Amino acid sequence: MNVQPEALRLFINIYFFALGAVIGSFLNVCIARLPEGKSLVRPASHCPSCGSSIRWFDNIPIVSFLLLQGKCRRCGLPISWQYPAVELLTAILFVLLLQRFDHAVALVVYLVFASALVVISFIDLKHYIIPNEISIPGIFIGLALSLLPARLTGGEFVLPSSFFFLSADPPHVVGSFLNSLIGCLVGGGLLYLTAIFSLLVFKKEGMGGGDIKLLAMVGAFLGWKLALMTIMLGSALGAIVGITLIILRLRKRTDYIPFGPYLALAALLSLLYGDQIMQVYLEFGEQINELVMKVIG
């Protein structure tokens, strides 16, 4: 029996979507329990309102929420939109990452990375904290994974020879590890300097320690170039959303706005579309330069 490539590709995409939704269901458990220091295994899934156990047929990702119209079968009280949102978001990310990475090991690495960012984002949105249980191990895991051989990872994000002022590329392991290490130092270091500057000049905390460790983790996984892109994109996204909320009077200037979700979104955009974003940036820069030259000329 011959299977058409298009049919096989569709099946794999559907499988990864379903897998992502299932993983997203577990991420909801992490989001709910990590900030409170509870076990991720016990007790079993239960209604946050009445505490009744959720049966398997009421725990099918996305589908059960729709069938139950967002309510608990037992008590009838609403269930937070967060649950299907996390499941759907994770499912979409799994499909996008599947299309982005050809090498199985690299794919698995970044599926785990993306899942960690989802958990961090929703915890930061809800509790204004970024759990050390994810970011600190994530830093060391990112550094360790950079030592994997190129045949397993496809040589993603390795420093080019031009960075070392050499005529030939460095060995894969050396270039990959240094890229990860420099990314970690650049990502965390820039935010740390920002925090120090804010304390000295404005006499207030401008960057939380959780954000610093998060970006250090991002740099360890993505390397220094994408760490810089993450900082710029995250800052732009945070500024746009923050200003919009203030204009709409949904937030006050003095209100705290968590930065973690914007950094996480920027990291995912950099991971998935870094080349395209850089191309758009360079083309935009050229157009601005031409416009300035015309005005001056």
Q: For residue 167, tell me if it sits in a domain.
A: yes
pLDDT digits (tens, 9 = 90+) for 7-59: 888 999 999 999 999 999 999 999 999 998 888 888 778 877 787 788 878 78
64, 178: one domain: no
Instruction: Tell me 206's DSSP state.
Output: -
Whether residue 283 lies inside any domain: the answer is no
Residue 75 inside a domain? The answer is yes
Same domain, 72 and 195: no
Q: What is the pLDDT of residue 167?
A: 43
Structural domain count of the chain? 2
Q: For residue 85, what are the domain limits?
A: 1-100
Does residue 68 form part of some domain? yes
Is residue 147 one of the residues assigned to a domain? yes
CA 234 to chain centre: 11
pLDDT of residue 233: 94
- The alpha carbon torsion through 49, 35, 215, 148 (nearest 10 deg) reads -100
Side chain identity at 73, as an amino acid letter?
Answer: R
Whether residue 170 has pLDDT greater than 60: no
| pLDDT for residue 153 | 55
Is the residue at 279 inside a domain? no
CA distance 46 to 79: 11
Q: Are residues 137 and 209 in the same domain?
A: yes
Residue 281 belongs to a domain: no
Mean residue pLDDT of the chain comes to 85
What pLDDT shows up at residue 137?
95
One-character DSSP codes across 163-203: HHT-SSPPPHHHHHHHHHHHHHHHHHHHHHHHHHHHHHHTS
As given in the structure block, the two tokens for residue 248 are 């709409």
The answer as to whether 65 is a domain residue is: yes
Three-state secondary structure call for residue 78: strand
